[in-house]
Amino acid sequence: MKLDLTLRALFAVVENMPKPKTFLYDLLFTDRENIDVQEVQIEFKNGRRLIAPFVDRFINGQEMPKESFSGRTFKPYKIAPKRNFTADELLFERVAGENPFLSDDPETKRSKKIAATLEEQTEQIHRRLEYMASDVLYNLTLTVDGVGVKDVVKFHDNNPREHYTTVTLTWDKPTADPIGDLKGQLREISRVGGTRPSVIVMDPGASDLFMNNDKVKELMNLKNYFVGEIKPETEGVNGAIYLGTLSSLGLDIYEYQEFYDKIKDDGTTETVSLIPENTVLFAPKGNMVKFAAESSITDGILQGDLIPRIYEDEKNDSVELRTVSKPVLIPVNTKSLRILQVK
């Protein structure tokens, strides 16, 4: 039986399915754009704050350099999980969790299998986007390392840890002053030309040290002096907890850690943490994501953050289902990103 799902129908399935929730990507990379070309011009601010000059009345003006830094033209690589089905798998096998006593017709079974696979591939792509967000924020790089591809986009000036600072007195010491350390980093971000961060993200180790610090607990309990409110609430994302708001700094504080399973060269997997231990991230919202277009002989230029593709092989009675995404994540201002190493 010929598969009759059109590209338009597949796009409709992808667009209407519930999107997986991520934390760093959804919270901090909100300026998203689908473009109709394959190459992206990467531009981001690098901390400069030029002041307009005075000129003589007979001089037209002074030429000012561009305040954004153009890193490179980049052709985003595909993120492309795929799945092959034989006719038997599509028509006879049940979808995971499906009632074994239901008797669906072959067309319904096939549609359910395709929808479930698209949803699974969407989740896998969003895990990759979350990993890319972490890479940009914590390493100032966008690393591409996959099957047949290896590349790095560098957003740093000299090294990927140039935005790291270690506190003078680590937070496990009884006389440590976490609030003072946070204020100091905000002042440093302003000094080097960064925009004010919107949030602070602590890994569980840093979060525990912060919450258990005597000075923090004392400030939070002072009457008539409202520094902030600490009230942990679980976010709707794995590993994310909203700790509270420091009103004196105008910042929301979150605890976050996530893990992913990485496929190694020998085919085995290893579990890797996303967030470095004992770190505090300062970051603004509104960082950028641009999704490059995909080309098709039959369908022309395809735009979107998630592009479903389907290929039939009548000779082998099989179908390949693939979801393609070609993102590049770009920080709005590299000097706004700061990592505090607290232990």
pLDDT of residue 115: 86
CB contact at 8 A, 48 and 79: no
Question: Above 70 in pLDDT, residue 94?
Answer: no
pLDDT tens-digit readout, 255-290: 999 998 887 778 788 898 999 999 999 999 999 999
**Tokens representing 173?**
């010491």
User: What is d(CA 234, CA 71) in angstroms, rounded to the nearest whole number?
Assistant: 38
pLDDT tens-digit readout, 111-126: 788 888 999 999 999 9
pLDDT of residue 50: 58
- Greatest mean pLDDT range, 129-143, 230-244, 285-299: 129-143
Q: Which residues pair with 256 in a beta bridge?
A: 240
User: What is d(CA 155, CA 330) in angstroms, rounded to the nearest whole number?
Assistant: 8
pLDDT of residue 212: 92
**Tokens representing 231?**
């009230």
Percent of the chain with pLDDT over 90: 48
Average pLDDT on 150-159 reads 90
Task: Mention every residue, 6+ apart, whose C-beta is less than 8 A from residue 153.
Answer: 42, 71, 72, 74, 141, 142, 328
User: What is d(CA 101, CA 322) in angstroms, rounded to the nearest whole number?
Assistant: 30
pLDDT confidence band for 221 (50 / 70 / 90):
low
User: What is d(CA 253, CA 283) in angstroms, rounded to the nearest whole number?
Assistant: 11
Question: Above 50 in pLDDT, residue 225?
Answer: no
- CA dihedral in degrees (230, 201, 68, 185; nearest 10)? 70
Give me the half-sphere count of Cα atoms (radius 13 Å) on the Cβ side of residue 333: 20
CB contact at 8 A, 85 and 113: yes
Question: Above 60 in pLDDT, residue 100?
Answer: no
Question: Above 90 in pLDDT, residue 61?
Answer: no
Q: Which residues pair with 309 in a beta bridge?
A: 322
CA-closest candidate to residue 279, choices 136, 138, 128, 134: 138
CB contact at 8 A, 327 and 305: yes
User: What is d(CA 197, CA 341) in angstroms, rounded to the nearest whole number?
Assistant: 17
pLDDT of residue 343: 95
Question: Above 60 in pLDDT, residue 298?
Answer: yes
pLDDT confidence band for 1 (50 / 70 / 90):
very low
pLDDT tens-digit readout, 166-193: 999 999 999 999 999 999 999 999 998 8
- CA dihedral in degrees (115, 120, 126, 131; nearest 10)? -170
Question: Above 60 in pLDDT, residue 228?
Answer: no
Query: Exposure of 160 by Cβ count < 10 A (0-12 exposed, 13-18 middle, 19+ buried)?
Result: middle
User: What is d(CA 32, CA 336) in angstroms, rounded to the nearest whole number?
Assistant: 19
Task: Mention every residue, 6+ apart, whose C-beta is less than 8 A from residue 115.
Answer: 13, 17
Measure CA 174 to chain center. Answer: 35
Question: Above 60 in pLDDT, residue 224?
Answer: no
User: What is d(CA 35, CA 48) in angstroms, rounded to the nearest whole number?
Assistant: 28
Query: Exposure of 10 by Cβ count < 10 A (0-12 exposed, 13-18 middle, 19+ buried)?
Result: buried
pLDDT averaged over the chain?
84
